[in-house]
Structure 1
Amino acid sequence: MVASKIVILTGAGISAESGLGTFRDNGGLWDRHRIEDVATPEAFARDPDLVHSFYNTRRAQAAQAEPNPAHFALAWLQADWPGEVVIVTQNVDWLHEKAGGTAIHMHGELSRALCANCGHRSPAPLVMTPADPCRACGARATRPDIVWFGEIPYRMEEIADHLHSCDLFVAIGTSGQVYPAAGFVTEAAYAGARTLEINMTDSETSAAFDDHRVGLASQTVPAWVTAQLDGVRQLL
């Protein structure tokens, strides 16, 4: 049976081969920075210079990074699949878009700035500082448009609608440790979807999936996409 609607959740593992560090693996970003210092509203209020410095570095890295074969394969799937393919990403880079795809950024985007005073969003400069004025209200309160710990991820109602209406849910390169994304497999399965995990190793939620593919995203994702599209062509 061919899934008419596919929802794909991507995590840091899909961008690791593009040179962007993961968070929770050994040597990951949280080994080098305390969450409490750089990724909470309280951290920004306490030391905005430090927080901006952390995200300026990540923004510069993301600007230099290029999509890998996994990103291109998912963009190909979105373009050629006869049904709907929705990508929901936990990543704040823009590699899905660079590859020609589209994604719901539930954790925000490094390329965007958010005014903490009025809520206005705008493109972020490569280097942000506490002195940057908001383009709408003029307040010097702009911050990275990133969902920090303790904040609600973006577009959750829309994501829930997609999870409840999909035929196949796929998680790629996720740790299964961060909620609410770690619960998506349960939501999709409860609604009747088949579920697949593609990862380097087992995650915290591997047992909840129907099927698994293990290996580098740059190899496993293109192979899976090719098989899906070949299967559709045989039915046409």
Structure 2
Amino acid sequence: MKFSIGRDDTVFILTGAGISAESGLSTFRDSGGLWDRYRVENVATPEAFQKDPELVWEFYSKRRKELKNVYPNKAHISIADFQKKHPKTYLVTQNVDNLHERAGSTNVIHMHGSLTRIRCTRCNYLEEHLEDIVGIPKCKECGNILRPDVVWFGEIPYFLNQIYELLSKTKLFIGIGTSGQVYPAAAFISIAKNFKAKTVFLNKEKIYNEDIDVFIEGNASITVEKFLSDIEIL
């Protein structure tokens, strides 16, 4: 099934762990990956950081190093290319890596934060920091300890008001490499559908959701390029 959109139509793309996994990044559900060597409650909650910030930074420093050894795949690049053809394409990612930006994407909304940013736990000082971090970094402004600028379990995702506003204007909703089952992102497709958007999901594993108009099964690095290239921009 091919889709047509107007030049002023809003396209909303939601990406999840599946798209980054194809670049070689370990995910929360992978076996044998980085997450297997740490308990989630010890490294990915506010309570864990308060109890043992050194352990949390050890974990995130390893994730940051892992990021340096992977590269955007064809799916990332295809999304970036499509954004150049249709600038009113907004990309919301559940991933904390920077592979979309490295592929050339714009209008990227990191609802779960970013591995490449660090922020203060007291004054909310924020900076982009790509270099390796050893030990527990301190804030340049107030001297307090810094934390990874990622959303941990029990915290509220970023930019939800902006995301809901975009969904209310969306004409075509595309989910890529995500199960669409974890809230609040799980609600995005139904919100878009309520506003009469066409909905498409591309995922390695089958998803059953009555709000999906078209489902395309397969690896994102294979399916995304063809699907996006077939969209007609009127």
- Do both proteins adopt the same fold according to a TM-score greater than 0.5, normalized to the shorter chain? yes
Which of 123, 142, 159 is residue 163 of structure 2 equivalent to? 159
Q: RMSD of the TM alignment (CA)?
A: 1.7
1:136 deviates by 1.8
Which of 81, 84, 88 is residue 88 of structure 2 equivalent to? 84
Match of 1:195, SS state, is: strand
**Which position in structure 1 is the counterpart of 2:4?**
2
**Which position in structure 1 is the counterpart of 2:206?**
202
In 1: Cα distance, 2:183 partner to 2:39 partner = 19
**Which position in structure 2 is the counterpart of 1:13?**
18
Match of 1:198, SS state, is: strand
Indicate whether 1:213 and 2:216 are aligned: yes
Residues 147/158 of structure 1: CA separation in 2 closer, same or farther (3 Å cut): same
* Aligned amino acid, residue 114 of structure 2: E
In 2: Cα distance, 1:145 partner to 1:151 partner = 12
Is residue 175–residue 200 contact of structure 2 (8 Å, CA) maintained in 1? yes
In 2: Cα distance, 1:202 partner to 1:32 partner = 29
Matches within 5 A, 1:11-90: 11-27=16-32, 30-81=35-86, 84-90=88-94
In 1: Cα distance, 2:109 partner to 2:70 partner = 19
Q: Deviations over 1:173-228 (max 9, x none)?
A: 0122321011111111111111111000024x634311101111110000111111
Higher relative contact order (CA 8 A, sep 6+): 2
Is residue 60–residue 126 contact of structure 1 (8 Å, CA) maintained in 2? no
Match of 1:52, SS state, is: helix
1:115 deviates by 0.3
1:29 deviates by 5.2
Is residue 49–residue 129 contact of structure 1 (8 Å, CA) maintained in 2? no
Name the % identity.
Answer: 47
1:130 deviates by 5.2
Residues 183/72 of structure 1: CA separation in 2 closer, same or farther (3 Å cut): same
* Aligned amino acid, residue 222 of structure 2: Q
Matched residue count: 228
- Greater displacement, 175-184 / 93-102: 175-184
1:150 deviates by 0.8
In 1: Cα distance, 2:194 partner to 2:135 partner = 45
TM-score (norm 1): 0.90
Indicate whether 1:95 and 2:66 are aligned: no
In 2: Cα distance, 1:26 partner to 1:191 partner = 38
TM-score (norm 2): 0.91
In 2: Cα distance, 1:44 partner to 1:177 partner = 27
